[in-house]
Structure formats: C-alpha cells, structure tokens
Amino acid sequence: MPEVGILIVDDDVASQQALKSVLDSEGWRVRIVPDASRALNELASGAWSLAVVNIAVADVNGPLFAILRELAEAAARARGNDAESPGKKLSVLFLVPLRLAAAAQPLLEREDLPYALKPYHLHEFFEKVSELLVESGAMEEPIRAMGNTGFKRSPIRKLRAGRHARRGAMFASRDDYQMTEEEMAEYERQEEEDRKKREKERKNLENRG
C-alpha cells in the first residue's frame, strides 16, 4: 500500500496541534500549511492521500475551494467505479467552524462534500479520516481504534449497511452502530474522560492567557 500522507490546511494554531497529534500517532506523514497559496502548491505535488481543510482558509469563492471540490468529486466518481478508476485518489475533508456553519454547511451538503463541524468528537473524526483514507486507496481497511493517543476503543463495533446514507453529516450517530450494553458503557466512559480532558486543556489555556 502507498504511504499515507495527510495535508492539514488550517490557520488555527490550536486546531493544527490537535489534528497533528492524533494523526501523527498512527505514523502517517502529516504536513500543516496555514494559507491557500501554500495549500495549492502542496496539492499540485500529488503527494497526499487526504486533505483536511478549514473552510475559513479555503474560502468557498476562492480557487482553493474550487480545486478541492474537483478533487473530492473525482474521488467520489472513482469510488463509484473502481474498475475504471484504479489507483490512489485524494480525498477531502472540510472543517467548518460554527461561526461559518450557516453559510458553508448548506453549500457542502448541496455539493455532497464531506465535512465536520468544529468542535467535533475526536473519536468520530479519527474514524471518518480512516474511512476517507480507504476511499482514497491509501489504506485497505478503516481503523476503528486510535493508536497511541489514549482513546483506544474496541474494533468490534460494526457499521450498519446505511452508514453512508448521509455523507454530508460526516459522523455517524450512535444509532448507526451495533454495540452490546457493555460496549456502550465503555464508550460512554471514554467519552466522559475525553470531555474532562478537553475541559482541563481549555482551562489550562485560559490560565496561561
């Protein structure tokens, strides 16, 4: 399988660090660029399996968004006809800050482009990234447990057949998973630990400021 390369296009320093931390933990090659100009140069290199892009940087009226939309559509066509479109494709995941959701979300859904609203649950974000990497041809199977980040979860959760019914919604709801009561309890426990950790990190940042 080809090397997994992920390009992060984001000018939010806190978001950059969080994304790089979780993606680095899997041993993937990760690069961060903070603006559209450098992002265009990186995309032209053809070296990436997935672009994770803050919609605020892409600008829905700018050239970067237009190129990303074309790449995402090409990847979608390839997924629909693997026999005629072999090889690696670049998948795209848009990050949408809540302040831009009212304007950007309808457009992304209309164009059937994958996106995640910020803030998002780290577990679901990671799982969606792995699914997009499979769709791009960079991995054979999605990863259901995070590497060394402390958020490891059981891989026996199985998505129902309709998990891709709404690509635009990004993350599957809990109803889209088949889980035992024990697994659900463990899931809830880990979600609570994740929430407490985020709250602690937020308070630490506030105290430093």
What proportion of the chain, given as a percentage, has pLDDT over 70?
A: 72
Say if residue 203 is exposed, middle or buried (CB neighbours under 10 Å; 0-12, 13-18, 19+): exposed
Name all contacts of 186-190 with Cβ < 8 Å and 24+ positions apart. Answer: 186/153, 186/154, 187/153, 190/123, 190/151, 190/153
* pLDDT value, residue 64: 95
Of 203, 179, 208, nearest to 191 by C-alpha is 179
Instruction: Encode pLDDT of 173-190 as tens digits.
Output: 434 334 455 655 665 677
Contacts of 58 (CB under 8 A, 6+ apart): 9, 36, 39, 64, 65, 68, 94
Q: Tell me, what's the pLDDT at 110?
A: 94
| pLDDT for the residue 188 | 65
Of 15, 37, 19, whose CA–CA distance to 28 is shortest? 19
pLDDT of the residue at 122? 75
Q: Determine if residue 145 is left, alpha or beta; phi over 0 gives left, psi from -120 to 50 gives alpha, anything else beta.
A: beta
Domains annotated for the chain, with CATH where assigned, are 5-178 (3.40.50.2300)
In the prediction, which pLDDT does 184 show? Answer: 55
Output the CA torsion sign for 89, 117, 152, 182. negative
Quote the pLDDT of residue 69: 93
What's the mean pLDDT when you consider all of the chain? 76
169 touches 48 (CB < 8 A): no
Instruction: Name which of 71, 69, 38, 50 is nearest 7 in CA terms.
Output: 50
At residue 63, does pLDDT exceed 50?
yes
Give the integer Cα–Cα distance in Å for 148 and 24: 9
